[in-house]
Amino acid sequence: MNERDHLEHYVRSGKLMQLASVSGDGTPRVCSVWYLPNFAPDLLYFVSRADREHSENIRRTPSVAGAIIDIPVVELGQTARGVQFVGQARELPGTGIDELAARFVERWPNAKRVFDAMPGGASRLYEIAVSEWVLFDEENYRSDPRRRISGR
């Protein structure tokens, strides 16, 4: 497997994404969200209430960063494997997203009720267009585990 293959595998197998956004006063904020990956183009999707701080931050300042870890976290010093990313996020409309909603529910069945409540519900689907990834893989690239990979 090459670097890109490892990256895509880790993002697909990860479950929870740490997402950083910028608040109205410029303070960075971090939250955790369940996500759906897409490649070529490199997009990450998550569902959240529109009134959450990170959702409001994205509407104001779409620049985001995040991280996905691909190992069960057990002990300090274990071999690390995961990715970080930067990109631009946006809130998607509550209608016209049926195919994407079906893919999200396939990965996360409990999200069905959220999509069933759209467009009038409190939640929305968000899209992150990833411009750059950083693969951090101490297992496969021990001497130089940090690898920058452009988004597609």
Q: What is the CATH number of the domain that holds 123?
A: 2.30.110.10
Q: Reply yes or no on whether the pLDDT at 130 is more than 90.
A: yes
Give the distance, in angstroms, between the CA of residue 59 and the centroid of all CA atoms in the same chain.
Answer: 16
Could you tell me the residue range of the domain that residue 31 belongs to? 3-150
How far apart, in whole angstroms, are the C-alpha atoms of residue 141 and residue 135? 10
Q: Reply yes or no on whether the pLDDT at 26 is more than 90.
A: yes
The pTM (predicted TM-score) of the whole model is 0.94
Number of domains, the chain = 1
Non-local (6+) Cβ contacts of 8 within 8 A are 37, 39
Which pLDDT tens digit goes with each residue over 38-84? Answer: 999 999 999 999 999 999 999 999 999 999 998 777 888 878 889 99
